[in-house]
Amino acid sequence: MSVFTISTHRRGTALVVRVGGELDYAHAPVLRGELARLWETGPPATLVVDVSGLNFCDSAGIAELILALQRSRDLGTRLVLAGVHGVLERILALTGLRPAFETSPTVEEALGGA
């Protein structure tokens, strides 16, 4: 059984969504639901998705990140992936998606660029 965790907190005009464990077919809808709830409450100026706690991401997880990127662009929200590493880093590089996402080594650095 795979494990997935998600938490959100506000930092000024930014919103930080921390995800951990496995962002896979079973858990991608959880991320989608959380982001949908956040968009409905009013788009933040910056949305930082902290992926430093992920140890796995499949195509369904990538699809959710792409949808989040598209939605953020539609709403004028800056989206940053913080802590990209491991499997996610390789997938973004292999698929050519790496340049599409703004990334930052840490949440703090992502917020410093807000």
Distance CA 51, CA 39 (A): 19
As for how many domains the chain has, the answer is 1
Say if 13 falls within a structural domain.
no
pLDDT tens digits for range 39-97:
898 889 999 999 999 999 999 999 999 999 999 999 999 999 999 999 999 999 999 99
**d(Cα 56, Cα 77) in Å, to the nearest integer?**
26
Question: Is a pLDDT exceeding 60 seen at residue 114?
Answer: no
Q: What pLDDT is attached to residue 1? A: 58
The reported pLDDT for the residue numbered 110 is: 96
Cα–Cα distance between 63 and 90 in angstroms, integer? 15
Residue range of the domain that includes 90:
28-94
Q: What is the CATH number of the domain that holds 65?
A: 3.30.750.24
Is 113 part of a structural domain of the chain? Answer: no
Does residue 51 belong to any structural domain of this protein?
Answer: yes
- Is 6 domain-assigned? no
